[in-house]
Amino acid sequence: MNPAPNRVDAISLEVLRNAISAIADEMNANLVRTAYSPNIKERRDCSSAVFDAHGQMVAQAESIPVHLGAMPYSVQAAIRHVKAFAPGDVVVLNDPYAGGAHLPDITFVAPVFMDDRLIAFVANRAHHADVGGKEPGSLAGDTVEIYQEGLRIPPIRLWEEGTLHEDLLQLILANVRTPDERWGDLRAQKAGCAIGIERLRALCLREGEAVLADAMAAVLDYSERRMRHQIAQLPDGEASFEDALDNDGISDDRIPICVHVKIQGDRIGVDFRGTAKQVRGPVNAVLAVTASATYFAIRAFADPDIPPNSGCFRPIEITAAEGSVVNACLPAPVVGGNLETSQRIVDVILGALGKLVPEQSMAACQGSMNNLAIGGLDPRTEKPFTLYETMAGGFGGRRTKDGIDGIHSHMTNTLNTPVEALETSYPLRVERYELRPGTGGEGQFRGGLGIRRDMTCLAESARVSFLTDRRLTRPYGVEGGEPGALGRNVLIRGGQEVDLPSKGTATLHQGDTISIQTPGGGGFGLRSARSQASIERDQREGRI
């Protein structure tokens, strides 16, 4: 850590820090506003960030945690693969083994120049509803190698000096089920980068290149100082915690995720010793995803107001064995590592930190993104469609308050797809969308409730894939609180309910209904300590 440069005083630093953050926010707003797919324009499954000329993240739009801690890996990969950037270049990538996270997340990286001098990078990441692979939505619970999960794109220029590489674009679009929607979303990502470049150049013209560079360095150092200060307030010590994923979609074996956390002075070490080796099914996580989940958990525990950037990650050391489920090696399938394993990583880190600082402990949230993909031929248009969605569940109980009902938690921060938008865009009908009473873990402060969302297929047939967890392992309670209720995946056909596994794929016929019922959060404290007023309120509002 270097002292803040003399050209940036404290007041100027705060002004410039907020200016750079505002640029990241505007980039993301532009991406959402111009996107084609409901997954981006409605659910906002996208993220944007600003980086300095060395590829260090300086500011991010507060959007999807699992994207943002991993995006610096994408920018560094782009820098390694593209030796000489030029104005107008835009690098595209999604390869998890070359800076990506999982294949549906396509990242754009663009340099920012003043004349011939590189001054910064802008980047964004968006979850595309289909990038090819064996099942619609590029989401399958039974893949055994990454080649089944979709098209892999290493860091490569899609635009070079402002000129679109039409042949590369056609290669991408030829390998997806919904090319028009994909091209629309890719152009939205380009628009997001364009506004970031325009705004950064204007800021540089106003303040000067040297001042902007110094401000970026000072912002990183500021976040580092704050993170070190917060860590230093925590007691030195070591603690371990273990939880598990239900399975990998291929085997029924539980998959242990273990962590050992060590706080020493102003640093934290996070060691995933004891965690399972990489598995055959698609719940492996690459290191970028593991790092993203780790950074999120520690920042949330230490001080969520610390500006999130590469500086606040500096005091955190991660150890994850190569070839483990949290540091997978090619050709392991990884689509669920980004989605489900990231959630369990947060659970175990918060569990270990809660042992070291009990007064800040909280019960587990639902621990799943409840991923669902449905695809087939839309009878209204005779064109393919692909729906991708994650679903909310219960937030964990806390020391002074109940968990939150029906909310996305931890590594996902998306919205839902509104019923009206879903039914307009896809041949599906939403039959039920409601909270699940009694699913929050009991305690002095109960866990939040899960939800139920039932969708009926109106197409002649469709493929449905689900990648979920906490169907066999319940979200833990703390301080004597009860665990949250398990989730369920159910196929309703001819009025009969058939329980589905936590991960898998099935065929829907016209009139079939898929019901995703999400887990509740764990409870905090003993049930006997819950106030009578709280119990009566829950009964009155139908929560129990």
Query: pLDDT tens for residues 402-411?
Result: 999 999 999 9
Lookup: tokens for 442? 């009991």
pLDDT digits (tens, 9 = 90+) for 459-473: 999 999 999 999 999
Q: Is residue 317 part of a domain?
A: no
* Residue among 449, 70, 494 nearest 293 (CA): 70
Residue 298: predicted pLDDT: 96
* Residue among 201, 157, 205 nearest 50 (CA): 201
pLDDT digits (tens, 9 = 90+) for 386-443: 999 999 999 999 999 999 999 999 998 888 999 999 999 999 999 999 999 999 999 9
Residue 251: predicted pLDDT: 96
What's the rounded Cα separation, in Å, for the pair 388 and 464? 10
Residue 1: predicted pLDDT: 53
Q: Which of 224, 248, 283 is the last residue of a domain?
A: 224
Average pLDDT of span 126-132: 97
For residue 87, pLDDT over 70 is answered with yes
For residue 4, pLDDT over 50 is answered with no
Q: Is residue 231 part of a domain?
A: no
Mean predicted lDDT score pLDDT of the chain: 96
For residue 66, pLDDT over 90 is answered with no
Confidence of residue 67 (pLDDT cuts 50, 70, 90): confident
Compute the C-alpha angle 134/368/400, nearest 5°.
170
pLDDT digits (tens, 9 = 90+) for 237-296: 999 999 999 999 999 999 999 999 999 999 999 999 999 999 999 999 999 999 999 999
Residue 468: which domain range?
362-544
What is the number of domains present in the chain? 2
Confidence of residue 68 (pLDDT cuts 50, 70, 90): confident
Q: Which of 224, 253, 287 is the last residue of a domain?
A: 224
Average pLDDT of span 97-101: 92
pLDDT digits (tens, 9 = 90+) for 526-541: 999 999 999 999 999 9
Residue 506: predicted pLDDT: 96
Average pLDDT of span 15-38: 96
Residue 8: predicted pLDDT: 80
| CB 348 within 8 Å of CB 243 | yes
pLDDT digits (tens, 9 = 90+) for 449-501: 999 999 999 999 999 999 999 999 999 999 999 999 999 999 999 999 999 99
Q: Is residue 434 part of a domain?
A: yes
From the number of C-beta atoms within 10 Å of its C-beta (0-12, 13-18, 19+), residue 192 rates as buried
Residue 306: predicted pLDDT: 92
For residue 70, pLDDT over 90 is answered with no
What's the rounded Cα separation, in Å, for the pair 535 and 424? 40
Predicted structure pTM score = 0.95
pLDDT digits (tens, 9 = 90+) for 329-374: 999 999 999 999 999 999 999 999 999 999 999 999 999 999 999 9
pLDDT digits (tens, 9 = 90+) for 185-207: 999 999 999 999 999 999 999 99
Q: Is residue 264 part of a domain?
A: no
Q: Is residue 169 part of a domain?
A: yes
| CB 388 within 8 Å of CB 372 | yes
Residue 83: predicted pLDDT: 83
* Residue among 78, 70, 130 nearest 101 (CA): 70
E strand or H helix at 374: strand 371-378
- The 3-state DSSP class for residue 274 equals coil
* Residue among 516, 430, 521, 517 nearest 474 (CA): 521
For residue 2, pLDDT over 70 is answered with no
Q: Is residue 355 part of a domain?
A: no
Confidence of residue 151 (pLDDT cuts 50, 70, 90): very high
Average pLDDT of span 128-142: 96
From the number of C-beta atoms within 10 Å of its C-beta (0-12, 13-18, 19+), residue 125 rates as buried
Q: Which of 207, 224, 241 is the last residue of a domain?
A: 224
For residue 3, pLDDT over 60 is answered with no
Q: Is residue 350 part of a domain?
A: no
Average pLDDT of span 9-28: 95
Q: Is residue 518 part of a domain?
A: yes
